[in-house]
Amino acid sequence: MSCCNCNKSDLSLIKDVLDKYASVDGSLITILQHAQDIYGYLPTDVLYHIAEKIGSTPAKVMGVATFYSQFRLQPVGKYLIMLCQGTACHVNGSERIEKAIKEELGISDGETTVDGLFTLKNVACLGCCSLSPVMMINDETYGRLTPDKAKEILRNLKAKED
């Protein structure tokens, strides 16, 4: 089983994970989590390779990868912006924060900036309701946002890269 001319990932990077988990029943999610940690997302050729190594079908592996929102099938920017759209954040103005991010970066939900620095992802809840509206950028949480504060955070990250 091969992935229709899309073999471009270094499959040796996932060898240790597959050696450890391939024969363990119910380990597909764990394998996918490790693969995403290794590659930054789940490339198609890696999904095919996982299917082959665990004795499954590519359709089943892809089905799991697309069902759970934690998995990404496309590369993301260096800074993954997860903007909370939960009830508390919505009531407290998350749509204004999203508009500010769109204005500042020129991207919409699910898109990555041309320079590959930022990806915007709307999420259902970050569990920080007392800080609403809130966003996480990688592992950092930013709360009590205003449109200007959100833009300032993004500008500071951009300046750090220049």
Q: Could you give the domains of the chain?
A: 11-67 (1.10.10.1590), 79-161 (3.40.30.10)
Encoding tokens for residue 151? 């833009």
Encoding tokens for residue 161? 């890269």
Contacts of 43 (CB under 8 A, 6+ apart): 6, 8, 9
What's the CA gap between 89 and 94, in Å, rounded?
5
Query: Which pLDDT score is estimated for 7?
Result: 61
Closest CA to 1 of 44, 36, 31, 42: 44
Query: Which pLDDT score is estimated for 1?
Result: 43
pLDDT in tens, 23-44: 999 999 999 999 999 998 999 9
The share of the chain scoring above pLDDT 90, in percent, equals 90
What's the CA gap between 89 and 38, in Å, rounded?
32
Query: Which pLDDT score is estimated for 69?
Result: 77
Report the pLDDT averaged over residues 134-141.
Answer: 96
Alpha helices in 85-125 (DSSP H): 87-91, 94-105
Report the pLDDT averaged over residues 84-97.
Answer: 97
For residue 140, give Cα distances in angstroms to 30, 65, 119, 134, 151.
24, 25, 15, 11, 15
Query: Which pLDDT score is estimated for 112?
Result: 94
pLDDT in tens, 39-79: 989 999 999 999 999 999 999 999 999 998 789 898 899 99
Residue type, 117: L
Q: 3-state DSSP call for residue 111?
A: coil
Query: Which pLDDT score is estimated for 9?
Result: 95
Mean pLDDT of the chain: 94
- Asked if 110 contacts 97 with a C-beta cutoff of 8 angstroms, the reply is no
DSSP H helix total and E strand total for the chain: 7, 4
Report the pLDDT averaged over residues 110-122.
Answer: 95
Given a cut of 60, whether residue 14 has pLDDT beyond it is yes
What pTM did the predictor assign?
A: 0.72
Report the pLDDT averaged over residues 12-33.
Answer: 97
